[in-house]
Amino acid sequence: MFTQATNRIALLACAALAFAGCAGAAPPVGSPGGGAATGDTIKIGALLPLTGDGANYGPGMQAAIQIAVDEVNAAGGVLGKQLQLVTEDDATNPDQGVRGAHKLIDVNKVNAIVGTWASSVTLAVTPLTIPANIIEINVSGSPQITELQDNGTVFRANATDAALAKVVADQFYRDGIRTVTVISNNTAGTIGLADSFKTSFTAAGGQVLETITYAEGQPSYRSEVNKALATKPDLFLVSCYTPDGTLIFKEAFEAGATGKWAAPAFCLNNQLVEGAGTEAVEGAIAFDLVAVKDSPAYQRLNEAYKAKTGEEAFDNVYAVHVYDAVHLLALAMQKAGSTDGQAVGAQMIEVSKAAGDKVSSFSEGAKLLRDGGDVDYDGASGAIDFDQAGDMAPYVGIFVFKAGKPELTQTFAGQ
Amino acid sequence: MQAAADGVVVGAMVGLAALGLTLVWAVERFPNIAQGDTLTLAAYLTFGLSVGAQLPIVPAAVLAVGGTTLAVQAAYQTAFRPLRTSPRVTLLVASIGVALVIRAIVSLVWGTRLQSYDLPVRRAISLGLFHVSLVDIVILVTVLGLVGAVYWILYRSRAGIEMRAVADVPDLARVTGIDTRRVLRFTWLLSGFVTAVAGVLLGAKIGLTPLLGWNLLLAAFAATVLGSVGHPLGAIAGGFVLGLAMELSTVFISPTFKEAIAFVILAAVLLFRPRGLLAGR
């Protein structure tokens, strides 16, 4: 049952497999655009993880961005123009992200891209947005993003993994944990978190016994789990995304694992609990940024968000962050008086820093700006002060799972 | 020992996915890229019937297997049969199209979030040297049963003998009076059935995302080629070799490289036995 022809077809099949994931070569980026907005609208591109590992968050982020855009438009728009939203799916995948960014930049001629979630996607997309001179606001964690030569156009509406890991590592050490074994997904974001944790935890006086890295998309992680269990640490840290994390928690439970487990909340979430079972995550610790529930911006967002999605905005912290990102972007454009990437970038720092009058909505801020004042937008995710590298220090929360529900045990204000 | 047990389970799943692939490949002479998404469809149908329509899991799984088999047959009738006389590459590309259509439908109906069947998660059963979970045992028993059944069909039943005849020399088969169209229909039925069963099991083991089957496709290809294209036992054997090699390698080196190990073995086998392990009649 084998012929020479099948051999050739086999080769073709392998080629097809490689390319089916990234068919349709993208054209090169056009000449640097940005500049003054043309037409009657200012276009904002949303590049979101609607599918793939970030699919738990993408749709909520889309809703939150839409809510923010609607608010800005209801308040008269930016520079007298309405914002227009164009959404693309990045599939939590760098290839797909680059294609989406090409389309947003070359075809839709957007003035900014908001929402890239996975660090791998952000790092793939910024080489397009930087020469195009448009603002890129991501919610990724990788420390590499800080170091981009971006002319001040790339902003991170999230903690760097280094900042997040430091808060968590210090707290674990205070709780008496001395040895940790790390199990990490091999992507830019998750590896970044694992490495940052090791650095901070070692500096605090603890010891990382072993770091086990795995490739995602596998049918089983039992060998990785067994290897980790053999090291017998005080705590297992799983730096995962939800699909692979689900399997790891499930298989660890099946293998009879006990002891303390921790994972970032963007992996260890309600979806994971549904897949792995309540018992498998009992007592597990989740950590991530948290929204500031008593802020006026959060309350306004949450009301609209609940009406739109039926869920609490607090359960999707990235939705909260991109909501603030759109507000900051709109205020910065208003203040810059243009949509030129570098000019707006400089004002992103200005409208977020503590020197100005505190505002919590676009309508308040735009009025102050028109009167020649300075504003400091304090959003649903905290005070938000961008530094020169485009980073900020949001609130971090630590949750413990009890009977399948996350209970917020500690909150750390951004420093 | 534990690594070996895990390898056998992974191998069984890869092998089952490869089995459906190799059947169509042998007779139609093109690799059906839609295979991966067929796995996904079967898993989601089970999910929809058990969690959505509140059926118990076993009847839901049986209905899902039936539904997926029919869907594969429908795909064959609409997408592949009209291209019967086209170059094989056309069929290959058509199968990519079918794959994308299935994936889009799955995403549209069930969304892209991670889902799972409503199965209790239990501590694994300890068998002295190693432990296995109930799902693993079900997977192994089903794979062995299915391989036995496919083997019987191919080598003992009239339909199977005709299938092998068409696979070997299509023209001669036609001249001797074999109804090629019926054979093809039967091949797609059998392949669809095997794939659907594999998909249902895969969903139970891993959980459901629209990329569930796609992620396994590369390994299934490797297993198919490793065990000789068109050789059903070879596909299963290829799956076991890959699974064992991947899991056992983690005892000695970092698990980061376990996928790479699978392909090093594939490359080595192709160097020394270019037609696969079980080829050579």
CB contact under 8 A, A3 and B29: yes
pLDDT of residue B280: 54
A13 touches chain B (CB under 8 A): yes
CA distances A13 to A343, A355, B48, B222, Å, are 49, 60, 31, 11
Q: Grade residue B209 by pLDDT with cuts at 50, 70 and 90.
A: confident
SS3 B280: coil
Could you say which of A5, A56, A254 has the minimum Cβ distance to residue B123? A254
CB contact under 8 A, A223 and B258: yes
Phi and psi for A28 in degrees, rounded to 5? -65, 155
Mean pLDDT within B138-158: 88
- Residues in A closer than 8 angstroms to B231, CB to CB, are 1-2
Helical H segments across A221-354, by residue range: 222-229, 242-254, 270-276, 296-309, 317-336, 341-352
- d(CA A415, CA A83) in angstroms, rounded, equals 32
- Across all residues in chain A, what is the average pLDDT? 87
Could you say which of B89, B216, B217 has the minimum Cβ distance to residue A12? B89
pLDDT of residue A331: 94
Q: Max Cα separation, chain B?
A: 58
* pLDDT reading at B243 higher than 60: yes
Mean pLDDT within B238-258: 82
CB contact under 8 A, B250 and A51: no
**Residue B281 domain flag:** no
User: Where in chain A are the domains?
Assistant: 41-159+294-377, 162-288+396-412
Q: Residue B228: CA atoms inside 13 Å, Cβ hemisphere, count? A: 17
SS3 B180: helix
**Residue B280 domain flag:** no
Number of domains in chain B: 1
Would you call A179 exposed, middle or buried from its count of C-beta atoms within 10 A (0-12, 13-18, 19+)? middle
pLDDT of residue A24: 35
Q: Grade residue A68 by pLDDT with cuts at 50, 70 and 90.
A: very high
Q: Which residue of A has its CA nearest to B281?
A: A1
Phi and psi for A47 in degrees, rounded to 5? -110, 105
- The third-level CATH classification (topology) of the domain covering A162-288+396-412 is Rossmann fold (3.40.50)
B58: CATH = 1.10.3470
* pLDDT reading at B259 higher than 80: no
- d(CA B249, CA B253) in angstroms, rounded, equals 6
Q: Grade residue A195 by pLDDT with cuts at 50, 70 and 90.
A: very high
Which of A:54-93 have CB within 8 Å of B? 55-56
pLDDT of residue A30: 37
pLDDT of residue A38: 53
Most trustworthy range by pLDDT among A253-257, B96-100, B132-136: B96-100
Name which residue leads in pLDDT, A394 or A308.
A308
Question: Tokens in use for B221?
Answer: 């290809």
pLDDT in tens, B39-53: 999 999 999 898 888
pLDDT in tens, B67-84: 999 999 999 999 888 888
pLDDT in tens, A360-382: 999 999 999 988 888 999 989 88
Name which residue leads in pLDDT, B205 or A310.
A310
pLDDT of residue A14: 46
Mean pLDDT within A7-24: 46
**Residue B188 domain flag:** yes
Under 8 Å CB pairs connecting chains A and B tally to 153
Summary count for chain B: helices (H), strands (E): 11, 2
* pLDDT reading at B182 higher than 60: yes
pLDDT in tens, B161-171: 888 888 888 88
CB contact under 8 A, B120 and A214: no
Could you say which of A17, A51, A254 has the minimum Cβ distance to residue B217? A17
Strand order in A235-239's β-sheet? A207-214, A179-185, A235-239, A260-264, A285-289, A396-402, A405-412
pLDDT in tens, B84-104: 888 888 988 999 999 999 988
Contact B202/B213 with Cβ under 8 angstroms?
yes
pLDDT in tens, A95-142: 999 999 999 999 999 999 999 999 999 999 999 999 999 999 999 988
ipTM strictly over 0.85?
no
pLDDT in tens, A142-173: 888 988 888 899 999 888 888 889 999 999 99
CB contact under 8 A, A226 and B3: yes
Q: Grade residue A44 by pLDDT with cuts at 50, 70 and 90.
A: very high
- d(CA B55, CA B50) in angstroms, rounded, equals 5
User: Best interface-test mutation with A: which of B206, B208, B246 has the largest number of A CBs within 10 A?
Assistant: B206
Which superfamily is assigned to A41-159+294-377 in CATH? Answer: Response regulator (3.40.50.2300)
Mean pLDDT within A244-252: 91
**Residue B123 domain flag:** no
Calculate the dihedral angle through the C-alpha atoms of A223, A225, A227, A229, rounding to the nearest 10 degrees.
-150
Structural domain boundaries, residue B37: 2-118+132-272
Mean pLDDT within A183-209: 92
Could you say which of B231, B256, B279 has the minimum Cβ distance to residue A214? B256
pLDDT in tens, B11-39: 888 888 898 888 888 888 888 999 999 99
- Residues in B closer than 8 angstroms to A279, CB to CB, are 121
Q: Grade residue A354 by pLDDT with cuts at 50, 70 and 90.
A: confident
* pLDDT reading at B264 higher than 60: yes
Residues 6+ apart with CB under 8 A from A314: A290, A291, A293, A298, A302, A320
CB contact under 8 A, B114 and A222: no
Could you say which of B99, B124, B254 has the minimum Cβ distance to residue A254? B124
- Across all residues in chain B, what is the average pLDDT? 85
Question: Which helix H or strand E contains A47, and what residues bound it?
Answer: strand A41-48
Same CATH topology for A41-159+294-377 and A162-288+396-412?
yes
Q: Token match 């963007």: residue?
A: A266
CB contact under 8 A, A250 and B121: yes
CA distances B83 to A367, B71, B80, B90, B230, Å, are 65, 18, 5, 7, 21
CB contact under 8 A, B229 and A222: no
- Residues in A closer than 8 angstroms to B3, CB to CB, are 223, 226
Mean pLDDT within A182-206: 92
CB contact under 8 A, B256 and A55: no
CA distances B129 to A8, B126, B141, B217, Å, are 44, 8, 20, 31
The per-residue DSSP string of A168-197 comes to HHHHHHHTT--EEEEEEESSHHHHHHHHHH
**Residue B126 domain flag:** no
- Residues in B closer than 8 angstroms to A224, CB to CB, are 250, 255
